[in-house]
Each structure stands twice: as C-alpha cells, then as structure tokens.
Structure 1
Amino acid sequence: MKNNFVLRHLKQIGGEMIDIVVNNGIITEITESGKGHAPVEWDGSGIYVSSGWIDMHVHAFQEFTPYGDEIDLIGVNQGVTTIVDAGSCGADRIFELAAHARQSKTRVFAFLNISTIGLQRIDELSSLTWINKEKVIQTLRQDEGFIVGLKARISSSVVGNQGIKPLEIALEMSDETGLPLMVHIGSAPPDIKEIVPLLRRKDIITHYLHGKNNNLFNESDEPLEILEEAIARGVHLDVGHGTASFSFRVAESAKKHGIHPDTISTDIYRGNRLNGPVYSMSCVLSKFLCLGYSLEDTIAAVTTSAARWLKRPELGRIQVGDPANLTLFSLSRNPLTFSDSQGQQRAADQIIRAEGVVTGGEFIKCEVRT
C-alpha cells in the first residue's frame, strides 16, 4: 500500500481513537476516528499506533557469524522502523554496512566498533594492534550521518589480557571525536567497578540487566553505588537482551529499586532471532509488560526515549507534516511463558504483537509478529 492512503480507527496509547492520512510518504492529516479520507483505506480497528519503534542494539551485518543478520528481517518485518547496529563493524567494513542500509526499507544507524576488524572475531579487543585511532578518525571524516557513536565490548571474552586498556582508549577516541560511547558489560575481568565510574553523560551501558557475575547488583539484589552514581551523571541504561544478557531476577530487582531502562533493545542477530530467547522486539517488549511496566512506559523506551538519545525527535512523534514513521501493534490477553537468558521463566497474560509499519511512504505488514 503506497502513495495516498488512510489508516482508520487506530488507538493511541492514551486510548484516543484516530485516523491518519498519508500522502506521498507525509502525514497530511490526523483526525477523529472515521473522518479521514483517501483513495485507499486500511481498517486498524483494535490496533495501536505509535511512532516507529527504534531498536538501539542489533547486529545487522549479514556477512558476520555468529553476530549478524539481514537488516529488514530484524527491522520492518518485526515492526521496527529504525535499527542501530551496535558495533558489528569497525573501520575496515563500516561502509559495507552503510551500503546494505541504503538498499533496505529499515532506517539504519550504527555505532562504530573501536576495533578495526569489528565482530569478524569475537575477541576483537584482545590485541591492541586492532585498535587504530587514526583509522577511526579517518572513517568519521567520510561519514555522512550514519555513525552515531563508538562501541567497546568490555568483558573478559572480548578484551582477553588487555583489561581496562581498550576502554581507556575508547574514552580518548570519544573525547577527540565528540561521539558518545556504548559499552557492553559482562563477565570479569575487568571488574564492573573499574568500568562504570569512567562513563560520562550520554554514554550507554548496554546489557545492564545481565545476570552473570560482575553485574550491577550485589548479593542482596541491591544496586551498586557505582550504578546509582552513573545514573545521576546521566549515563544511559540500555537493555540489550541478547542470548546471554537479560535476567528476570535482575530486572525485577532493578524495578523494585526504581532503576528503569532508558531504552529497551534486543541485541538481536540470526541465532537468537530463530532460536530465542530474543525472537523479536515484540517478544522483548512483552517481557517488560510481564515485569509490570505500563504499556506507555514500555513503548516510550523504543520511541521517544530512543529518538531523544539519537537527537532525532521527529522519529519519536506522530505529527502532520512529518514523514510517516509508524508502528502498528496489537495487545492481546493470551497467556504465554517467557524465558530470560538464563532459562528462568515468567508467565505473562499480555502480549504485544507487531502488525505493520509505515515507512518510506509504504505500509508494510509484519511477517514476524511475536
């Protein structure tokens, strides 16, 4: 469905019913339900609408294994109109990813891995010879708005014997380029108490709800002081569910202590899309409903909050005159059991299902709904 069409009887999260008219990719009218007119109509009765979902942590460079996938399979097919690749590529191949993005229906941004080889290997920071500051700076000079930050995976399997040194280099690069830093946390060494105090406002901790040793909560499931201090500094908390980085127990503790995600992201790639425990953005969002988060707060974490971090407020709103960037989704009461990254399960009774998106002037029905 392209060009001039109306989406009828859509429900906003606050409950108001509206029609949205789209002409040549632009929202030309937002009106009361049943009052919008266009040559082509789509009945959205029972369907919610939000601005297009944004996934702040994916791996979308299909040439890499295991951490790779096809852009539209983890984007528009799942109700996600914008993805941010979280450091799949370093300077050696980032523009190959950009070329793939130009051929896709999903909008793509990227974090540049500080390792030139990126995820060609999964220990990409274990040798300092793979970290080349000049290559990073040269790459950024050629960039045309595709790169939104730098990425450093700071856990034992990635840094090997280098300890905290790759993070120190990443921070120097961040200072020189003015780009914020996304930091993956996981198993020690380095100790989490060495990592978090170094992060600044707008830097991102991804995987902040992982349940491995070396996480951000103590044995009594209370937040570490370094986490509370980081939040006070304006460090951004991103979920990054992934295969091994989301714990229901830790997420419940975080919520109990008032520590909430700034953005909910999937860390999706081919393996955990097909085999779980991620499967889709809808699945991850449904887990946050299961944790007791409201629909409004859950959807804000993949719309307005993510758009604010990206400094692209237009991606987090629905407004006449803007390019149409919409996600359509349903909320059902079917019982379902969800698993976290450690095999722990929780029973849910509310399920979010992506139904379709509007992007690039086109209405696209989702192929993957849960």
Structure 2
Amino acid sequence: MVSSKPKWDVLIAGGRVIDPKNAVDTQLDIAISEGSIASVGTGLSRSNADSVIEADGMLVVPGLIDLHTHIYHKATAYGVDPEPIARRSGVVTMVDAGSAGAGNFAGLRDFIFARSPLRLLAYVNISYPGIFAFDRDFVVGEAAVRELLSVDHCVAAVQENIDLVVGVKVRLGANTSGDLGLLALDRAIEAAERVGLPVMAHIGKPPPTYAEILARLRPGDILTHCFRPAPNAPVDTRGDVLPALIEARARGVLFDIGHGMGAFGFKSAESAISHGFLPDIISSDVHALCVDGPAFDLLHTMSKLMHCGVALADAIAMATHHPATAMGRPDLGHITIGGPADLTLLKLVNVPLRFVDVLGQERIGSSRLSPCGAFAAGQYIESEIRDFESL
C-alpha cells in the first residue's frame, strides 16, 4: 500500500525570498524536511506538507547570524541568555565573541551550548580567563596581563573544541589591553595561525591606533567595532575614511559593526557609508549592558544601519552569507536544497522609530525589521516582538 504521509514537514508559502549568496530576490515557496531544505520553487503543493506557513507579505531569508554576541549567561556578569535574544531578533546562529578563554571554555560549551536549540559557536579569547571583569563601573582588561596571554593554552582550547570554535578573539584598547595591545594582537595571530583560523580584533580607545591594528591583520581577519566613535574612529575630522581602512580591505581584512554599548557612532557610520565604505558584517555585540539599548539585538542594529544608507538586501547579506563566509562555514548563510533549514521570517514595518548611538546622538527612522519566526535546522523558534516605537 502506498503511504499517504506528506513528504515535507513544513511549507513556507509565498514569501519574498532574499538569498544574497544565490542572487535570489523573488516570491518563492520553501519546503523543509528532516531539518533540511527539501524544495524551493513556485506553486509547491500545500498538500505535500504537514504544516503550512502563509508567508505572503513576509521576507524569508537565510537564518540570521549574529557574529558578535556575549552569551556566557550567569558565568559572566555581562552574559545574556541566548534564547530570548534569538526569539526577539530572528537569529538562528549566535557566536560568542571571546567571553571565554582556555581556562573556562568548557563551561561555555557544557552549560550554554549543549543546552540550547540554537546553533551556537564561539571565538576563544587569547587571554586565559576570557573577559572576567566588565561592568558599567569598571573594566579590568584581560589582555593587559602578559602572563594570561598564553598561545599554547589558547591553541589547545581551540583544538579540543574545533567543532564549535570559529576563531581567536583579542580585545585591544586602553581599557582592555593597556600597554600590551600589539603584543596581545601578535599572540592572538600566532595562535590563530597555528590552528588555521581567523582573528577577531576588538578596537577600543587608543593605544593601539586603528592603523596599527589594521597593519597586522591578515586576509580573513575581522576588525570588530569598525564604526566606533572617536577616538579611534574610522574617519578623520573631515569625515574621510582613513587610508588604513581602504588598504586593509584591499588585502582582505573584514569589517564588522559590533555595536555594543560603546562602539557605534552615527557620525562614523554615516561618513564612512557616504564615502562608499560599508561594513562587511553587521553584528550586535549584545550583552547585559546594551541589551536594553543602545544595541538591543541584531535586527535593531540592522535597522539602524539601513537608516544610515545600507540597502535591505545588503543588510541581509551582512547578517547571513558574509558572516558565514568569515567563519568558514559554507553550509550556512544561504537557502539551498539539501542544506540546513536555517531560515528567518521577517517583516519590514513602516513606523517612526528613534535610533540612538553610543554617544546618545539620535536619528528618527521610518522603518524597522520585525521578526515573524525562525527555523534552526528545521526546528521552529517562535518570535517575540519587542515594541521599540516608544524608545
């Protein structure tokens, strides 16, 4: 007897599919079966699916990737619970950016990653304890102590967790690396070279300078907080993009937003974008000190960058295909038959919205991206819509 069981678990019908990697921007149906993309096309039969999501009026995009988060929840003072953030931002993959070092990465793996339905990945901090003392009232820089910058321990931690690790993180700046900034960067690069992964370098207030950091970064390395305000802004006093950024991009260095509580200024962003220097990646740097503003989450940060002049399709690429490529994960960041069913459903809502940067500067936007649901390897993640209109 022929089975009448539907061949698809879910059919997402009639959404506007934007898939930058595959150069798709059109209305399509997407079928999911056993955690993978089973079919993509028009007029797919609803009767072949156990359930149907009517996506007319929605954007259907590859599962959003937030490349810079801090989700070592309860083990660090600034870590946030990843799942509520994912539900309100449509994020499927969250990458912890160096909360843990070799000394405590096992806890991040066992107590956070192993218990989550999300796709969680991480950068290992070059400093042995990771980011251990970060609050509104004080910062003790983990990269300012020479003895904590152990290349051997970092390499061992990466090798023991290679299925979860996408690179090596180093935080550079007066409050985080003190006078050891370039040494910390050199050690992070040495560790990354030994394991064949990129470095993500945080830039804060000098020392070191923007140019000094970029001069050491290799093709594929990531400069996060790229549109931070002065000092160490990406533009000079006239608003021109620093030559060091243009030279670094030409040799393959990547630039990530990493908004956070202190690393996104409208003046920097608007000047750089108006000169044609767009970020490669949009990330939130969400943590306990910015989750209620000014960064909030990835969707809010994407909406903010769109207000600054980034086109919708480009913003989606900067939160899907581009971070997937930066992590060396070609399986992620696109919608391809046979690939993982990582999908985010969104609406572009036309509504007045007050955007605020880390200096308190304001802009009034006219639209925002709002979540409608997501799938992580075919597992549905319900959305929680947060009202930002009164902010």
TM-score by length of 2: 0.89
Number of equivalent positions: 367
Matches within 5 A, 1:11-160: 11-13=16-18, 16-33=26-43, 35-37=45-47, 38-99=49-110, 100-121=112-133, 122-160=140-178
Deviations 1:125-176 (A, max 9, x none): 1211111222112222312321111111010001123242212222222233
Give the Cα separation in 2 of the matches to 1:244 and 1:253. Answer: 18
SS of equivalent to 2:188: helix
RMSD: 1.7
Deviations 1:225-274 (A, max 9, x none): 1111111111000000111100111101111211111100000012311x
The equivalent position to 1:313 in structure 2, one of 322, 327, 330, is 330
Which residue does 2:353 correspond to in 1?
336
Give the Cα separation in 1 of the matches to 2:268 and 2:230. Answer: 10
Give the Cα separation in 1 of the matches to 2:25 and 2:222. Answer: 32
Deviations 1:291-345 (A, max 9, x none): 1221111101011111111222221211222221100000011111111111111
Deviates more, 1:316-325 or 1:282-291: 316-325
Q: Structure 1: which 5+ residue stretches go unaligned?
A: none
Residue pair 2:36, 2:338 contacting (<8 A) in 1 also: yes
Which residue does 2:303 correspond to in 1?
286
Give the Cα separation in 2 of the matches to 1:76 and 1:95. Answer: 26
Q: Structure 1's 4 and 227: CA in aligned 2 closer, same or farther, altered over 3 A?
A: same
Which residue does 2:21 correspond to in 1?
none
Residue pair 2:256, 2:282 contacting (<8 A) in 1 also: yes
Residue pair 2:124, 2:158 contacting (<8 A) in 1 also: no
Runs (4+) off by over 3 Å:
33-37
Give the Cα separation in 2 of the matches to 1:368 and 1:88. Answer: 27
The equivalent position to 1:161 in structure 2, one of 175, 179, 182, is 179
Deviation at 1:62, TM superposition (A): 0.7
Residue pair 1:78, 1:282 contacting (<8 A) in 2 also: yes
SS of equivalent to 2:100: coil
Give the Cα separation in 1 of the matches to 2:123 and 2:236. Answer: 30
SS of equivalent to 1:39: strand
2:236 is the alignment partner of 1:218:
yes
Write the letter of the residue equivalent to 2:278. H
Residue pair 1:20, 1:29 contacting (<8 A) in 2 also: yes
2:384 is the alignment partner of 1:367:
yes
Which residue does 1:189 correspond to in 2?
207
Deviates more, 1:26-35 or 1:81-90: 26-35
Deviation at 1:191, TM superposition (A): 2.5
Give the Cα separation in 2 of the matches to 1:334 and 1:63. Answer: 35
Give the Cα separation in 2 of the matches to 1:219 and 1:34. Answer: 55
Write the letter of the residue equivalent to 2:259. H
Residue pair 2:151, 2:190 contacting (<8 A) in 1 also: no
SS of equivalent to 1:333: strand
